[in-house]
Copies of this chain bind each other. A is one copy, B any other.
Amino acid sequence: MSSLREECGVFGIWSPNKNGVARQAYYGLYALQHRGQESCGIVVNDEGKFRSFVDAGIVNDVFTSAVMENLGEGNMAIGHVRYGTAGAAGRTNAQPIVVNHVKGRMALANNGSLVNYYELREELELEGKIFHTTGDCEIISYIITKERLKTTTIEEAISRAMDRLVGAYSLVILTPGKMIAVRDPKGFRPLCCGKTEDGSLVVASESCALDAVGAAFERDLQPGEIFIVDEKGPRSNLEHGGKQSCSACVFEYIYFARPDSVIDGASVHEARLRAGAFLALEHPVQADVVVGVPDSGLDAALGFARQSGIPYGLGFIKNKYIGRTFILPGQNVREDKVRIKLNPVSANVKGKRVVLIDDSIIRGTTSARIVKLLREIGATEVHMRISSPPFLNPCYYGTDIESKDALIACKHSIEEIQKIIGVDSLGYLGLDSVKKIAITNPDISFCTACFDGQYPTEEPKITAKHKFESKIEERE
């Protein structure tokens, strides 16, 4: 129920036999839909000819039969799902983007966020470059293109470009002859690859997308890896790997990823069960039922229930019929929105002491509304447990955590928050524990900057605010 937003999901496929790459991309994006619902896109590469369609909306609405037919067949495809602003404007930054440069055509899609976006953009602008979007992809295209002028192959250019990019990026790229996937050296965002029975090679943000296209999971891409596929087969450039310590985003496990995905060797579902178990150990309480806020709080609730011995119960029904956003005028719309999406199951709550598990608290307004729903239906006590530490710092790596001003934990003590959202007790997962929820391979360590302010990279020197304020005078 968190209102956090992740910027994207990416998918790529290379097929030896031109068999349904657009359809596979469709399935893959459909499986990644939870990573972004505002816009989506697919680019098909048919022996060097690119056909592309991007639009605002969810995969199922955007990719109609007619659109799929227009995309046609090809030997490679990449796709993208993205959160973004509503309405027609959503198209502007939709991905993948297709650009033409000195060596032909290139399509890119990205999950992540560059820390040095504004430095790079300023540098490029001063060289006379123009920008159609405000997204990282266009910056990355330029940096690659600059290097491409000096290199023999596109993969060399990408490798050199990576020296210029600071921050989080999981990229899929199509050139006329190659599909290339790139994971940043810190490994902020997940990226994995697999293989289908008919020999197609697939990359995706999460393993659930491999499952969706019938591909067997092969492995996660290593932090810093450049994974290249063409008719000569797959190969990797690992020179950017291992130089920097890894900093995978722990919030992928807590909230972003789908429970059936396995990321860097750890099951997302199990990580959430473990988070719930840690919570039960750290913040025990006497209660009659443990309920989770759908969908991301459910697994942690189950983990809490198992550890505590308090029965797990279905607390809410979430309406799953999501279509085009329907915004109704009127004063009580925000309240209505929670009410029509979530309905408490009275039988499990009435007259009971309830442990309520959610993954995070951002502003506190949604939490307060949910607690109120439980009290109205007859809960005698509500004890809230949060399967992550309090948010105290902005994220520069692709999570849309709003400025400190909006974060309730920056402005209020636990006791105050407890009062604001109306619960009898409140407990957050400890910082030590959150680092232990996912047992991944030993080389993976986590970024927890949003909790502890320990940023694994430099912090942005130029921010959007700075940038545009300095520019306003010279505008005409």
Q: Which of A67, A70, A128 is most buried by chain B, counting CB atoms within 10 A of its CB?
A: A128
Report the minimum CB–CB distance from A159 to chain B (whole Å): 15
The 8 A CB mask of A205-217 against B (1 = contact, 0 = none) is 0001001101000
Q: Which of A52, A126, A319 is most buried by chain B, counting CB atoms within 10 A of its CB?
A: A319
A26 to B138, CA, bound (A): 31
Contact residue among B63, B149, B258, B312 (Cβ-Cβ distance under 8 Å from A302): B312
A326 to B61, CA, bound (A): 9
Does B154 contact A130, Cβ atoms closer than 8 Å? Answer: no
Report the minimum CB–CB distance from A291 to chain B (whole Å): 12
Of the stretches A8-16, A170-178, A247-255, A415-423, the one at the interface is A170-178
Number of copies of this kind of chain in the complex: 4
The 8 A CB mask of A243-274 against B (1 = contact, 0 = none) is 00000000000000011101000010110000
Does B326 contact A64, Cβ atoms closer than 8 Å? Answer: yes
Known: A31-B319, A346-B260. A101 touches B88 (CB 8 A): no
Does A101 contact B89, Cβ atoms closer than 8 Å? Answer: no
Residue of B nearest to A33 (CB): B321
Does A267 contact B101, Cβ atoms closer than 8 Å? Answer: no
Q: Is A30 an interface residue (CB 8 A)?
A: yes
The 8 A CB mask of A1-37 against B (1 = contact, 0 = none) is 0000000000000000000100100110011011001
Contact residue among B60, B102, B343 (Cβ-Cβ distance under 8 Å from A322): B60
Known: A128-B142, A260-B317. A340 touches B30 (CB 8 A): yes
A20 to B316, CA, bound (A): 26
Does B327 contact A65, Cβ atoms closer than 8 Å? Answer: yes
Known pairs A60-B326, A175-B476, A320-B320 / 7 extra A-B pairs, C-beta < 8 Å: A60-B324, A100-B130, A101-B130, A129-B129, A129-B145, A258-B317, A267-B346
* Cβ contacts under 8 Å, A464 to chain B: none
A371 to B474, CA, bound (A): 51
Does B314 contact A312, Cβ atoms closer than 8 Å? Answer: no
Known: A322-B60, A340-B30, A347-B267. A129 touches B104 (CB 8 A): no
Report the minimum CB–CB distance from A52 to chain B (whole Å): 8
* Cβ contacts under 8 Å, A176 to chain B: 475-476
A34 to B318, CA, bound (A): 12
Does A476 contact B104, Cβ atoms closer than 8 Å? Answer: yes
Q: Is A103 an interface residue (CB 8 A)?
A: yes
The 8 A CB mask of A23-66 against B (1 = contact, 0 = none) is 10011001101100100000000001001110000111101111
Report the minimum CB–CB distance from A433 to chain B (whole Å): 19
Q: Which residues of chain A in 123-155 are interfacial with respect to chain B, using CB atoms and an 8 Å cutoff?
A: 125-132, 134, 138, 141-142, 145-146, 148-149, 153-154
Q: Is A311 an interface residue (CB 8 A)?
A: yes
